[in-house]
Structure 1
């Protein structure tokens, strides 16, 4: 057993150190694997970043109430009467005066211009109150000041500033027939709320002719994660057709749409892997043919066919691992932390950052190893089966 292992090690070292003799074929195989891994990690980094942006938006201490069956805030409409009923439900935290702590919010779509492409996109503009501001975790004014009640003033999320033109502090923007002054910018720790514009809710209702209606209600819960009291009241009151979930669960549901992107990324990567696999097979078959004389010599002096098999397989795996490392580093350098925006559930832009995690790198490593293993096993079998006499003839 020790002898066989020693032979395998010798052949592995010989094959790897001779890669330079097949430099162009080897580089082609490395490049093919690198592209596949880079594409996969780019898709996964996009999904990871978008998912974390949404997940970071939700809190288990806050419940969100929408019209029953609404897939997004944009599709929900709540009357003032409905809000007055809901806010009497059990389980809602009270302030020092015994009043329920809640924030009815308006959600409208306005136009924006994407900096990278110059194209017109939909941006979310939220009508909010000071209570709604306090219900968000990690929210802070980063420059300027808070908007004033009754005035056409807005504060702009940091994500909007990064991705869209014309929202700098002090500028005036026009939406329809009304003008709004940017009086401040805010941060919410990098979550989806940074993709929004915020304004005084009654002012937004007036300017967009929404009467007294809202899209959602956010309420502070007495007990985190416990919406049972509100849900029971909604179920038993025939006047109410509402969905009540924690804000954390709401944004988790919004993120489920990313499952299709993940599947698409894997499908694309698998198809591309076929091309990389073809390159690996070609490289390794060429390697076996070029080293036929070496294989014959080793076999003649007592090396087993097992050593030829594992030596060839190891070369394929090493090339794929190098390719995987190159692809991963390229993704890390060019994608990690990259700011981008895409359509969310409300058909408005959500700004997020690509994020490469350890788990994603592990996925890329497994893909590279798979290509190397499959791409090397057949040439390795050929090397192991090559008769000594045939090998010598092929070397002449």
Structure 2
């Protein structure tokens, strides 16, 4: 039998949504994770866990937080190098920065270089799984799946489909897009921990013929995913409806193509009608809330309270590169501010859930990741509560006043935490950061 490793520290994970119940999480102040062959074998109080096993290697992270790795459900890997450019608004951003940067991915060498940079940035920020957009070039997908496979990382990505309203170097045709996507699905989907995501960029850049081809592909490969953008920007909505005048609203464009499913992830969804919200909830589709991007491009304030009330599945996402940080801690902090402006002081438990177990459930990966249940992959992170002088001072104050509680610990990470708090990142039990 292979060697068992015990990781000691403050152990935290979710067992349910904190919107459903108060005891939705497990927390062991002096806990342990037992890992063998890259899988979680056991989890609980350290004294109990060590008593169950005679022979193990101990890795001691006492005083640090051990929790499942973050899951980023909407991010653009080709935009990693244009993060923080002067943004203006969505359609300007695409023309001025996104499309020029993406044309470089025609080079497999550039795609490989950026895939390696991108994945290292994810690990540095504690993200162990992501659903990423590639570019229109098949080589961009191959590069990202290949690098992720070197780490046995769970990666969800796919070739972007665009056959109109984009530079010639970034467009395909409906037939070419369908053919190239099918080839990539056959090569990568379900191989190792790779999952394929059918990726029409958005309705402005995809003809109805291309959207129908994307829907047809999903029908042929029903365990693939679908990702696209929806109602991010008011000019985007107006442009979409001018291109599709027979549709009553933006969502109907995707409905007609068979793209609104329980395996669809829609980025942004800020300016939805009540009818669109209800239809998304009924379909079981997922909404990826991207607060740093929405603020940076002036797109609007997503209403999480409304989404929760209507039963919409929501997750948090960075949306790099219009999103301004790879850190889901930073993203959680910005989401909190957005919801404050909406009159909804969102709890840190809800935020954390939506980028761990909640995201895993939304992506139908909760049998593999998102919590420390037995048999799950050992994708976890080690978090330092006091990685900066400000966090140290805050911790000292709370301890001095008898308020160093779990929620105060976690809220500090959300409010002023970032990549510096991530001490280590593990993928199936192997340290990658």
TM-score by length of 1: 0.22
Q: Which has the larger radius of gyration?
A: 1
Greater RCO, CA 8 A, separation 6+:
1
TM-score by length of 2: 0.20
